[in-house]
């Protein structure tokens, strides 16, 4: 249970890090280390080179951009949790971050590390799916941006090349006063979710839904945007009855099966969790700083 031998590199700039990743063989990036370090300790990964991004200070920032919040990949989860800017501009992320691991792991863990690890039950990939986040990826060959929808290539596999690194995430704003809800079912607090749901709602003055986003984590190999539910909601007046009917569509999502739960159990949870997330979103409309709290426990 000790890391294997590797050569350690701690670049100070993104360019240096890209240069290392383009020249070294069998190199892995180290972000916050809260998944990579266990994998090293258990020797599930055996890199010849470890490139630590911890000293690349340009990657840790939460910045306001027109119409979006721009977050550096090495921003610690703890800094997102305590950021007034995140709470004001992106309350869904502020709620979701409470569910990420534990206090000790959020102090080290980063948003970029979680996205690239891409665990299907992790909170931050689902938040990015819900918000239609845009990711910026850099290598010695150049910089490109991609929509989060195109980011997962498969189970725990992001569509980035071995010499590329994620530098920033842009989370587009929703209208002020929009509703947000994040709920999760896990055996114990801090465990990966069996199923989680994130919901966003915008309504007009008559209470009619103008825009909806419903995302499920833990059910498929990557976060699932449930378009069928979103389409059933838009144009309707928001109500508990509407949500109850619309979320039944989640029962037919193809679900994973593992030691924690069979597929049918996950499908049942998908219905319940998406409904609860929508109810929390409706309740929070008009109060952007509200918290949905521990609704699932």
Chain residues in the site for other proteins (CB under 8 A): 1-10, 33-34, 37-38, 41-42, 49-50, 52, 54, 78, 101-105, 107-108, 188-190
Beta strands of the chain (E only): which ranges? 7-9, 27-30, 49-52, 62-65, 68-72, 134-139, 142-147, 152-154, 157-158, 165-172, 179-185, 195-203, 209-217, 224-225
CA distance 9 to 11: 6
Please, which residue, 4 or 175, has the CB nearer to other proteins? 4
Please, which residue, 70 or 108, has the CB nearer to other proteins? 108
Please, which residue, 7 or 234, has the CB nearer to other proteins? 7
Please, which residue, 54 or 162, has the CB nearer to other proteins? 54
Q: What three-state secondary structure class fits 179?
A: strand
Please, which residue, 28 or 225, has the CB nearer to other proteins? 28
Instruction: Kindly state the smallest distance separating residue 109's Cβ from other proteins, in Å.
Output: 9
Instruction: Kindly state the smallest distance separating residue 39's Cβ from other proteins, in Å.
Output: 8
Instruction: Kindly state the smallest distance separating residue 238's Cβ from other proteins, in Å.
Output: 30
Q: Would you state the structure tokens that stand for residue 149, as one six-digit string?
A: 């929808």
Nearest-CA neighbor of 203 among 281, 134, 151?
Answer: 281
Instruction: Kindly state the smallest distance separating residue 81's Cβ from other proteins, in Å.
Output: 11
Our CA angle for 150, 156, 161, nearest 5°, is 60
Instruction: Kindly state the smallest distance separating residue 103's Cβ from other proteins, in Å.
Output: 6
């Amino acid at each position: 249970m000790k890391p294997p031998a590797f050569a350690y590199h701690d670049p100070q700039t993104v360019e240096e890090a890209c240069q290392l990743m383009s020249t070294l063989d069998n190199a892995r990036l180290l972000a916050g280390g809260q998944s990579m370090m266990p994998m090293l300790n258990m020797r599930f990964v055996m890199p010849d080179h470890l490139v630590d991004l911890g000293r690349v200070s340009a990657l840790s920032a939460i910045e306001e951009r027109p119409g979006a919040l721009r977050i550096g990949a090495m921003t610690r989860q703890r800094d997102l949790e305590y950021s007034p800017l995140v709470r004001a501009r992106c309350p869904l992320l502020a709620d979701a971050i409470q569910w990420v691991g534990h206090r000790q792991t959020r102090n080290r863990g980063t948003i970029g590390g979680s996205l690239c690890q891409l665990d299907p039950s992790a909170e931050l990939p689902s938040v990015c799916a819900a918000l239609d986040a845009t990711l910026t990826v850099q290598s010695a060959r150049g910089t490109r941006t991609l929509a989060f929808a195109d980011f997962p290539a498969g189970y725990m596999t992001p569509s980035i090349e071995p010499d590329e690194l994620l530098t920033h995430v842009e989370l587009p704003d929703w209208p002020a006063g929009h509703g947000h809800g994040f709920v999760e079912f896990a055996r114990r607090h801090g465990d990966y979710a069996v199923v989680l749901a994130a919901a966003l709602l915008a309504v007009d003055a008559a209470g009619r839904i103008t825009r909806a986003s419903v995302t499920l984590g833990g059910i498929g190999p990557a976060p699932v945007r449930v378009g069928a539910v979103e389409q059933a909601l838009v144009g309707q007046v928001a109500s508990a009855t509407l949500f109850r009917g619309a979320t039944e569509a989640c029962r037919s999502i193809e679900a994973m099966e593992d030691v924690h739960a069979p597929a049918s159990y996950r499908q049942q949870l998908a219905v319940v969790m998406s409904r609860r997330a929508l109810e929390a979103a409706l309740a929070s409309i008009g109060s952007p700083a509200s918290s949905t709290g521990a609704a699932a426990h």
